[in-house]
Amino acid sequence: MNEPLIAPSILSADFARLGAEVDAVLEAGADMIHFDVMDNHYVPNLTVGPLVCQALRDHGVRAPIDVHLMIKPVDRIIPDFAAAGASWITFHPEASEHIDRSLALIREHGCKAGLVFNPATPLDCLRYVADKVDMVLLMSVNPGFPAQKFIPGTLGKLREARRLIDELGGGIRLEVDGGIKANNIREVAEAGADTFVAGSAIFGADDYSQAVATMRGEIRA
Ligand code: DX5
Ligand code: ZN
């Protein structure tokens, strides 16, 4: 099993103070930064692109940046995010015309590659591209907005994804994103997740260190 990682989502940060917010959650013990990219086309919201990723690197952020693309198409922005300092790049299979090619493109540009599955999207394609996948991200909300409610059916899907990943071998990470809180992270971990995105539960807390520590304690308990 991979070491658990906690990845605060910038979507719930104060964007006017993004560098300081990212510094604060990393000082609070977070492992990496989840960077949500939305295009008002694939999802009904609009966020930030490679310039802001680069700005975080220029600001001095050294932690891994986990770029979650909620955009369509995906391929033409991949080189730009790699050049801007992305560590991981994940995309939704239905947003790419050629999933195998998009995965290969991410690795060719030196990043780790991942596929993101919406709550109702089957995991089927994973089997055929597993050798090009470093992470599987299961959405536990419909993508587009922070602070939504965790969809309980994700637990069964996590168990299914965990079985498939174990069968395929190779240490693929299993990330979960949406509605993760201190009061559900334990069952999410028990269902097989090893990488935990949390936006509002961390950036919405008065004390980031306490929020991260509580989550980590629940995972380890
Ligand atoms: C949803 C984004 C998530 C979101 C998580 O479309 O991909 O990363 O910001 O936020 P919370 O943890 O508040 O559900
Ligand atoms: Zn996300």
Q: How far is Cα 81 from Cα 83, in angstroms, rounded to an integer?
A: 5
Ligand in closest contact with the CA of 88:
2
Q: Do 9 and 180 contact (CB within 8 A), yes or no? A: no
Neighbours of 167 (CB within 10 A): 9
Q: What is the pLDDT of residue 54?
A: 99
Q: Do 193 and 158 contact (CB within 8 A), yes or no? A: yes
Residues catalogued as catalytic: 36, 177
Domain span at residue 28 reads: 5-220
Q: Do 64 and 86 contact (CB within 8 A), yes or no? A: no
Is 47's C-beta closer than 6 angstroms to any atom of ligand 1? no
Q: What is the pLDDT of residue 72?
A: 98
Q: Binding site: what residues are annotated?
A: 9, 34, 36, 68, 177-179, 199-200
Ligand 1 atom nearest the C-alpha of 10 is 9
Q: Choose which residue among 9, 15, 66, 89 to substitute to test ligand 1 binding: the one with the highest number of ligand atoms within 8 A of its C-beta.
A: 9
Instruction: Using the mean position of ligand 1's atoms as its centre, give its distance from the Cα of residue 10 in Å.
Output: 9
Ligand in closest contact with the CA of 179:
1
Q: Do 116 and 139 contact (CB within 8 A), yes or no? A: yes
Ligand in closest contact with the CA of 146:
1
Ligand 1 atom nearest the C-alpha of 200 is 13
- The token pair at 29 is 């013990």
Q: What is the pLDDT of residue 104?
A: 98
Torsion over CA: 58, 60, 62, 65 (sign): negative
Number of domains in the chain: 1
Q: What is the pLDDT of residue 79?
A: 98
Q: What is the value of ipTM here, to two decimals? A: 0.98
**Helix runs in 130-192, H state only:** 154-168, 185-190
CATH number of 180's domain: 3.20.20.70
- Bridge partners of 38, per DSSP, are 70
Ligand 1 atom nearest the C-alpha of 199 is 12
pTM passes above 0.90: yes
- The token pair at 25 is 């959650």
Is 178's C-beta closer than 6 angstroms to any atom of ligand 1? yes
Q: Which of 10, 154, 6, 130 is nearest to 68 (CA)?
A: 10
**pLDDT per residue as tens, the chain (221 positions):** 799 999 999 999 999 999 999 999 999 999 999 999 999 999 999 999 999 999 999 999 999 999 999 999 999 999 999 999 999 999 999 999 999 999 999 999 999 999 999 999 999 999 999 999 999 999 999 999 999 999 999 999 999 999 999 999 889 999 999 999 999 999 999 999 999 999 999 999 999 999 999 999 999 87
